[in-house]
Amino acid sequence: MALYVLQQIVNGVSAGSLYALMAVGLAMIFGILRLINFAHGDIMMVAAYFATFALFAGLPLPAAVLVMTVGTILVGLAMERIAYRPIRGAPDVATLLTSFAVGQILENGVLLTSRLAGQPIQIAFPAPPGLDGVVALGSLTVPRVNVASFGSGIVLLVLLSLFVTRTRLGLSMQAAADDLTAAQLMGIRVNRVVATAFVIASGLAAVAGFLYASQAGQINPYLGFTPVLKAFIAAVIGGFGSLTGAVAGGYALGLLEVIPTALAGIADILPPGSVSPAVHDLLATLFPAGLASYRDAFVFVFLILMLLFRPNGILRATREETP
């Protein structure tokens, strides 16, 4: 029983790492530009394709990851320069619609490229050998991919927090997110700070895309849709715009998602005789085996409750606005 719970927590934390990697990028760009970049999921998708084609070309794993990361960052930078910079300061609706348009362009661009390369819409991801199989931790078995997700998530997020608090460029980013005008008056180069945010966000999305593709085993041009929604929810849970909040929100969401799965059919997992037949029946009615398929509904209900009762995120009760 304890093992079962532990197994679910491990699953939740590993999914949470992916959400956190994505949510941090959304929050970072929103913090500075007040732009909800829905194309962020497509950046992650582009990364999965870069990795796939690099692996198809026979590159070893480290080289493929390098090609993927650099390629994705370049796409992210181009997106900022071509689509977002010209409309900086435009009304929120305009920037939001632009991000949807960018997403469409990326999806169709990848679809076209993939077709021209003679590939089907759905491609099997050439899972790198190192990420196959499971690791045994005591009596717990964890897929290697999940260990990699968790490990790379933690390492990258720690590096990010060091960058943001310990370097002057990182501080500039925080200042620009806090008060863009005041940041300009300090002599901070806003274009450089915005470009840095897109570099970091795209780099993290690239890693998330790679891990996501390894877990799913196949890729298609629309794979970024669900992750960007989940990252959005994670960012909302954390209080939109806050980086720490986005990370916390990502892990919270990952853990939240396993609750329906963990509770599904719980009555049958309990050792026989450990609870009275009445309790057993109650549990079986409350948490039927089919509960797991309501996972997303559960998460969205939670999102609605969050927006109703803690719209500033779990970490911040109220956000004080300085004049």
Partner 1 sequence: MLEVRALEVAYGSIRALHGVSLDVGHGELVAILGSNGAGKSTTLRAISGLVRPRAGSIRFLGRTITRAAPEEIVALGISHCPEGRRIFGRLTVRQNLVLGGIQRPWPEVRRDIDRMETLFPILRERLNQAAGTLSGGEQQMLAIARALMSRPRLLILDEPSLGLAPLVVEQVFRTIAELKGEGLTILLVEQNVHHALDVADRVYVLETGRVTLSGPASELRHDPRIEQSYLGR
Which residues lie near partner 1 (CB under 8 A)?
A: 168, 171-172, 174-175, 178-179, 181-190, 320, 322-323
Smallest gap from residue 310 Cβ to partner 1 (A): 19
First-residue to last-residue Cα distance in the chain: 53
C-alpha 208/C-alpha 308 separation (Å) is 30
Q: What is the nearest approach in angstroms of partner 1 to the Cβ of residue 190?
A: 8
CB nearer to partner 1: pick between 181 and 285: 181
287 CB contacts (<8 Å, ≥6 apart)? 263, 264, 265, 266, 267
Q: Which is nearer to partner 1, 68 or 193 (CB)?
A: 193
Helices (H), the chain: 2-33, 40-56, 61-79, 92-116, 144-166, 168-178, 180-185, 190-216, 225-237, 243-263, 266-269, 277-286, 295-309
Dist CA 62 CA 54 (whole Å): 10
Q: Which residues does residue 310 pair with via DSSP β-bridges, in sequence order?
A: none
At residue 203's C-alpha, the angle toward residues 202 and 204, to 5°, is: 90
Structure tokens at 163: 């960058």
Nearer to partner 1, 245 or 254 (CB): 245
Place of tokens 């599904």: 264
Q: Quote the CA–CA distance of 284 and 302 in Å, as a whole number.
A: 23
